[in-house]
Amino acid sequence: MAEVIQGTRAFNPSTRAGIQFSEEALKTIEALMKRYPEGKHKSALLPVLHVAQAEADGWLSPEVMDYVAELMKLQPIEVYEVASFYSMYNLKPVGKCVLEVCRTSSCWTRGAEDVVDYIGKKLNIREGETTADGMFTLKTVECLGACGGAPMLQCGAEYHENLTEAKIDSLIERYRAEGRRKCYTDLDYQNTK
């Protein structure tokens, strides 16, 4: 269910100073808005928020949402109410890698809780927390449509199924080495036009 946005306040253009998306992101946002009929560009809000989140270190601050509102010529409230409804938008800072472990039935019956425990112990964090170095956040999420590969987790755009402790170990090692946040940024939205 909807989350409360902390620190929401009156629209104030000056707070956006310093926020600037990359050229590529701005082009993508423009192209996204063209996918809908004249005057219906608000439709692009969900995909645009994914781009914004990737541009803004993985989370949507009120300032970033104000910036999106300005780019899309929407009222800030229209952006806030959408960002707070959907589970994929982070309204608080998160680590560079968010490990999202599915906790729903099919995964549960095949050891999802053990996966959460194992990662928690290994990284010394509890569910919902981020490691001190800001590298990993551990989350549990609802069914990700990979029940046949249970237990599973998602990190950014990647699905990892049939998890074992060895698989988790190598995954965490790889992510740490890459140190990356790679997700919605690498989509070539211009494809279709």
Partner 1 sequence: MGRKLLLTHDHVEGIQGYAAYRANGGYRSVEKALKKMTPDEVVEEVKKSGLRGRGGAGFPTGMKWSFLAKPEGVPRYLVCNADESEPGTFKDRYLMERIPHILIEGMITSSYALGANTSYIYIRGEYFYVARILENAIAEAYANGWLGKNILGTGYNLDLYVQVGGGAYICGEETALLESLEGKRGNPRIKPPFPAVAGLYGCPTVVNNVETIAAVVPIVNDGGDEYAKIGIGRSTGTKLISASGNINKPGVYEIELGVPVEEFIFSDEYCGGIANGKRMKACVPGGSSVPILPDYLVCKTAAGEDRLMTYESLSDGGFVSGSMLGSGGFIVYDEHQCIVRNTWNFSRFYHHESCGQCSPCREGTGWMERVLHRLEKGEGHMSDIDLLVDVAKKIEGNTICPLGDAAAWPVAAAIRHFRHEFEYHVLHPDKIKDPKHGYREPIMPVKPEPVTA
Q: Whole-number minimum distance, CB 120 to partner 1, in Å?
A: 15
Residue 152, binding choice from ligand FES, partner 1, none, Cβ under 5 to 8 Å by partner class: ligand FES
162 token code pair: 């049939």
CA distance 121 to 43: 42
Q: Whole-number minimum distance, CB 152 to ligand FES, in Å?
A: 5
φ, ψ dihedrals at 186, nearest 5°: -90, 20
Site for ligand FES in 143-162 (CB under 6 A): 143-147, 150, 152
CB-side neighbour CA atoms (13 Å) of 75: 5
141 makes contact with ligand FES (CB under 6 A): no
Q: Is residue 34 a contact partner of residue 27, using CB atoms and an 8 Å limit?
A: no
158 token code pair: 């990647």
CA distance 126 to 153: 16
CA distance 52 to 33: 14
Question: Segment near partner 1 (CB under 8 A), from 47-55, 91-99, 125-133, 164-172?
Answer: 47-55
Is the CB of 34 or the CB of 133 nearer to partner 1?
34
47 makes contact with partner 1 (CB under 8 A): yes
In the list 14, 17, 132, 191, the residue contacting partner 1 (rule: CB under 8 A) is 191
116 makes contact with ligand FES (CB under 6 A): no
105 makes contact with partner 1 (CB under 8 A): yes
6 makes contact with partner 1 (CB under 8 A): no
Q: Is residue 156 a contact partner of residue 181, using CB atoms and an 8 Å limit?
A: yes
Q: Which residues bind ligand FES (CB under 6 A)?
A: 102, 104-107, 143-147, 150, 152
